[in-house]
């Protein structure tokens, strides 16, 4: 396995799914450390997010190294890809695994960039980072206290993060949840629904958020289903009338410089590749924008 990994790094792109394109740095040199979590053990509707990391990595080889919006070649940025976690089945154990890995990366002064997997993986990363502000783009509120017998379901992610005592939770793009979840959202979070994004425009919303996060640490999580399922249908829990890929890119371009951790989750790649392709490009945007701002 380690030989294959090394060979793929030497440029045999048929093995490209083993690492993200242009992730050429060693761990020691890397400022950004990517890892995949191929887990969909609590999926409530359509399984498949376990194949997300591989699909996102494959899609990453479609792109030019050059990013014209920052003027950087991606390989100039020190980032590495550790590959995929060998995941536990039990969701609370899986969350603990992610917490350990993300904690080690952050403890080494590097920014974790996680590829899901279903959204449950985010709980572990946020536990490790302990940000002041958690910002998530998601069709769903994910504010259930429990779903299908577990408090670590992908439908409970934002609720578990509230439990951690993060100062502020900001949800962008939501359009699905039961009455109780909307009540919790009203009381405990800042909610910009998908309709609000459409009415006000993502730029105005981001201006408002930027004012609030000055000097505070941020974790940014993208659930792929924030985007309208008619545009990116490779999703376990698809919802129409959502955000656009351009909205998500704008969120990431704007907030990446402030983020100390990032993930892209819930890509279940049984479409024609749209969902993983958007994810791969957005991950590149995160790294390029964060690096540009940090220099």
Binder to Mn ion among 81, 138, 228, 263 (CB under 5 A)? 138
Contact stretch for Mn ion (CB under 5 A) within 112-120, 127-135, 247-255, 284-292: 112-120
CB atoms within 10 A of CB 291: 21
Q: Please identify which residue in 22, 225, 228, 247 interacts with Mn ion, judged by CB under 5 A.
A: 225
- Secondary structure class of 203 (helix, strand, coil): helix
Question: Minimum Å distance from CB 208 to Mn ion?
Answer: 22
CA 257, CA 104: separation in Å to the nearest integer?
Answer: 21
**Which segment (20-28, 94-102, 135-143, 200-208) binds Mn ion by CB under 5 A?**
135-143
Is the peptide bond between 253 and the residue preceding it cis, with omega within 30 degrees of 0?
Answer: no
Tell whether residue 140 is a contact of Mn ion (CB under 5 A): yes
Among 119, 127, 249, 289, binds Mn ion (CB under 5 A): 119
Helices (H), 108-201: 121-129, 157-163, 179-188, 194-200
Q: Is 110 in the site for Mn ion (CB under 5 A)?
A: no
Three-state SS at 267: strand
Nearer to Mn ion, 112 or 238 (CB): 238
The correct pick among 81, 223, 250, 285 for binding Mn ion (CB under 5 A) is 223
Q: Which two structure tokens, joined as six digits, stand for 200?
A: 């006000």
Is 142 among the residues that bind Mn ion (CB under 5 A)? yes
Q: Is position 175 an interface residue for Mn ion (rule: CB under 5 A)? A: no
Per CB under 5 A, 141 contacts Mn ion: no
> Minimum CB separation from Mn ion for residue 138, in Å?
4
Distances from the Cα of 11 to the Cα of 14, 23, 54, 158, 288, angstroms: 9, 11, 17, 39, 22
The alpha carbon of 42 is separated from its chain's Cα centroid by a whole number of angstroms, namely 17
Question: Which positions lie near Mn ion, rule CB under 5 A?
Answer: 119, 138-140, 142, 223, 225
């Amino acid at each position: 396995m380690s030989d294959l990994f090394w060979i793929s790094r030497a440029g045999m792109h048929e093995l490209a799914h083993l690492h993200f394109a242009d992730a050429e740095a060693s761990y020691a040199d890397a400022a950004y450390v990517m890892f995949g979590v191929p887990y969909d053990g609590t999926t409530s509707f359509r399984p498949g997010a376990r194949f997300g990391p591989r699909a996102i990595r494959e899609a990453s080889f479609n792109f030019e190294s050059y990013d014209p919006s920052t003027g950087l070649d991606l390989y100039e940025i020190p980032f590495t890809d550790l590959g995929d976690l060998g995941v536990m089945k039990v969701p609370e154990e899986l969350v603990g695994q992610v917490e350990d890995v993300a904690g080690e990366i952050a403890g080494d002064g590097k920014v974790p960039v996680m590829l899901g997997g279903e959204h449950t993986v985010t709980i572990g990363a946020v536990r490790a980072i302990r940000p002041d502000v958690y910002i998530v783009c998601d069709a769903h509120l994910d504010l259930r206290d429990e779903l299908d017998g577990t408090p670590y379901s992908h439908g409970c992610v934002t609720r578990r993060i509230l439990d951690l005592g993060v100062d502020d939770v900001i949800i962008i793009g939501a359009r699905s949840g039961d009455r109780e979840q909307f009540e919790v959202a009203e009381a405990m979070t800042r909610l910009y629904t998908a309709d609000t994004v459409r009415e006000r425009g993502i730029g105005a919303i981001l201006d408002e958020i930027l004012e609030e996060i000055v000097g505070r640490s941020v974790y940014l999580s993208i659930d792929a289903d924030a985007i309208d399922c008619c545009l990116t249908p490779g999703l376990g829990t698809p919802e129409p009338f959502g955000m656009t890929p351009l909205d998500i890119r704008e969120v990431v371009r704007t907030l990446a410089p402030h983020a100390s951790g990032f993930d892209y989750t819930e890509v279940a790649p049984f479409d024609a590749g749209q969902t993983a392709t958007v994810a791969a490009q957005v991950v590149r945007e995160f790294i390029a924008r964060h690096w540009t701002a940090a220099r």
